[in-house]
Structure 1
Amino acid sequence: MKVSSNREGASYLVWTLAVQLVLYGSGAYATDGTKNCKLFSMSELEQKALSRLEPLANKSFTGQSKNGDDSYTYVFQLCGDADGVPGAGVIQKGGKEAKTKIIGKYNATQAIGGSDWVMLIYRNGEAYDQHCSGEMRKAIIMISCDRTKTADDLQVVLEDRDKEHDCFYLFELDSSLVCPAIESQLSAGSIILIIGICLLAVYLIGGFLYQRLIVGAKGMEQFPNYAFWVEFGNLTADGCDFVCRSRNRDEAPAYRGVTAEPLEEEQDERDDHLLPM
């Protein structure tokens, strides 16, 4: 019986490890910086959206707002205790009561991702006293890509509490840490140009070393194929002349010049038939 129970325990352990590996590979487990966040839906899309915020983990962001004579300070931390308050993702401090209130908790998280933004929602905050039918507070943090900012201060947009249900606090945060990577795509012409430059560099460096170390050349003769490149200009000119010029050099000119024979002799020959017989 003990052997059977041990086998069952070992089998259960193996299956547990296998399931954990599968879930980890599919993205169902959070990364180290976001592992404290508990998603409502352990979907792969939400997990990917949350993992994009990994660079913001263990960082605190502060924002200020005013409501009449009251001023409030908000502290946000990704998957961590905001301002040291256990379980709080966003807190509110200040006001007449000078009391710290939990706006949202990171153990009730929802993450929605776009092309260059992630919307993080913390639910299950402290209940309203007189607004929103006494429902729990909720914080919505809109984290957008801005390549000019590493991690900006938290911007307090509004507190929507003038309705009976689904009230929320809205915050904005701009950071380059959530920007997608820029994929560099080289055209075929660029690739050919790069390959050509690399081959030319190998030719010049390798030929120079060969001429200097093996052949023992000095001065300009260290340049590979020096004699050929010296004549290259003449060869190019001859080739251009051969291809581009349409006139045949060996063709006789259309108009001949005056012959070298004296005119007087030609005149005498033309007058011979006039002499009397």
Structure 2
Amino acid sequence: MKVVYSHGGGSFLVWTLVVQLVLCGSGVFSTDSTKSCKLLIETESERKVLNRLEPLANKNFTAVTMVGTESYTYVFRLCGDAGSVPGAGVIQYDSKKPESKPTMIGSYNATQAIGGSDWVMLIYTNGDKYDAHCSKEMRRAMIMISCDKKVDVGQMKVVLEDRQRLQDCFYLFELDSSLLCEVVQSQISAGSIILIIGFCLLAVYLIGGFLYQRLIVGAKGMEQFPNYAFWVEVGNMTADGCDFVCRSQNREAAPAYRGVATEPLEEEQEERDDHLLPM
């Protein structure tokens, strides 16, 4: 039997494949998201904290640590199967025994989420049981995710494994990311907007006037300044006004004040020189 495909049907199949590839690349068909995490106690506040971590979904984070002569590799995935281990949020590999079965440190099916303004503490519980420590209780992973504006997503670090107690033992990890930083919205006041507009208009006036005076009028030197004569006159008038208002003395010295005597001056006795004449 011979099957014939029309040209239109072939184009439809090609476009269908293209759309599917785009959707897969954008994560629409991905099942990993914060909704995959199951909270121990479903509350709206913890769900909101988890939603803040949505940009970190679909990513694996690894860390290597040395404990004496032993070396371990940890893999963390947000609300997804770490290392393709079903239900595992954090797993541990023995670096010296890569063929050995990984240990599940915590499950995202038993999650707790605590958050502040610039940090989130993610807790995965119900991991594999300890062999001889912590009363053989289930392992627990605590991932401290903090805001760091310098990095997009930093390197995960192993802080410690606290197993020197009878119960409530835990593994503590650190992870920095700018995706967790609070977005600060800048607000410009009306006064700032007016100042910005004023500076822009002033710049246009100065640059446009300068080009006009230089290229069209052919002015040189200070005369290239737009409306130079007007501004010079304004400057002189301003200086005169400041001088008139601010100075305590007149610019021209006033004649000295002389008092007027209340009593008439005695007439000086006229000196006669008749005696000097020859007789």
Same structural fold, with TM-score higher than 0.5 when normalized by the shorter chain: yes
Aligned position for 1:152? 154
Aligned position for 2:249? 247
Seen in structure 2, the aligned counterparts of structure 1 residues 66 and 250 have a Cα distance that, compared at 3 Å, is closer
Matched residues in 2 for 1:95 and 1:274: separation? 137
Offset at residue 195 of structure 1 (A): 4.7
- For 1:103, the aligned partner's letter is I
1:168-179 paired onto structure 2 within 5 Å: 168-179=170-181
- For 1:67, the aligned partner's letter is V
Instruction: Point out the structure with the larger helix share.
Output: 1
Seen in structure 2, the aligned counterparts of structure 1 residues 139 and 194 have a Cα distance that, compared at 3 Å, is same
Aligned position for 1:130? 132
Q: Secondary structure at the match of 1:35?
A: helix
Task: Answer with 156-165 or 140-149: which moved more.
Answer: 156-165
Please point out which of 161, 166, 169 is paired with 1:167.
169
Aligned position for 2:49? 49
Matched residues in 2 for 1:246 and 1:240: separation? 11
Aligned position for 2:239? 237
Q: Secondary structure at the match of 1:231?
A: helix
User: What TM-score, normalized to structure 1?
Assistant: 0.68
Matched residues in 2 for 1:253 and 1:206: separation? 53
Q: Secondary structure at the match of 1:147?
A: coil
Offset at residue 131 of structure 1 (A): 2.4
Seen in structure 2, the aligned counterparts of structure 1 residues 151 and 249 have a Cα distance that, compared at 3 Å, is closer
Aligned length: 230
For structure 2, which runs of at least 5 residues remain unmatched after alignment? 1-31, 259-266, 275-279
For structure 1, which runs of at least 5 residues remain unmatched after alignment? 1-31, 257-269
Offset at residue 91 of structure 1 (A): 0.7
Seen in structure 2, the aligned counterparts of structure 1 residues 112 and 246 have a Cα distance that, compared at 3 Å, is same
Matched residues in 2 for 1:70 and 1:142: separation? 24
- For 1:87, the aligned partner's letter is G
Seen in structure 2, the aligned counterparts of structure 1 residues 107 and 271 have a Cα distance that, compared at 3 Å, is same
Task: Answer with 246-255 or 76-85: which moved more.
Answer: 246-255
Seen in structure 2, the aligned counterparts of structure 1 residues 134 and 252 have a Cα distance that, compared at 3 Å, is closer
- For 1:50, the aligned partner's letter is L
Matched residues in 1 for 2:247 and 2:151: separation? 62
Instruction: Provide the alpha-carbon RMSD of the alignment.
Output: 3.6
Seen in structure 2, the aligned counterparts of structure 1 residues 219 and 243 have a Cα distance that, compared at 3 Å, is farther
Matched residues in 2 for 1:252 and 1:174: separation? 80
Q: Secondary structure at the match of 1:141?
A: strand
Q: Secondary structure at the match of 1:232?
A: helix
Task: Answer with 44-53 or 32-41: which moved more.
Answer: 32-41
Matched residues in 2 for 1:245 and 1:206: separation? 38
Aligned position for 1:87? 87
State the percentage of identical aligned residues: 67
- Kindly indicate whether residue 184 of structure 2 is the aligned counterpart of residue 182 of structure 1: yes
Offset at residue 218 of structure 1 (A): 3.8
- Kindly indicate whether residue 126 of structure 2 is the aligned counterpart of residue 121 of structure 1: no
Aligned position for 1:100? 102
Matched residues in 1 for 2:96 and 2:175: separation? 27
Offset at residue 75 of structure 1 (A): 0.5
* Per-residue Cα deviation, 1:14-58 (whole angstroms, up to 9, x for no partner): xxxxxxxxxxxxxxxxxx842222222332321222122222222
Seen in structure 2, the aligned counterparts of structure 1 residues 193 and 108 have a Cα distance that, compared at 3 Å, is same
Aligned position for 1:13? none
Seen in structure 2, the aligned counterparts of structure 1 residues 166 and 240 have a Cα distance that, compared at 3 Å, is same
Offset at residue 200 of structure 1 (A): 3.2
Task: Answer with 136-145 or 163-172: which moved more.
Answer: 163-172
Task: Answer with 98-107 or 183-192: which moved more.
Answer: 183-192
User: What TM-score, normalized to structure 2?
Assistant: 0.67
Seen in structure 2, the aligned counterparts of structure 1 residues 199 and 128 have a Cα distance that, compared at 3 Å, is same
Offset at residue 250 of structure 1 (A): 6.5
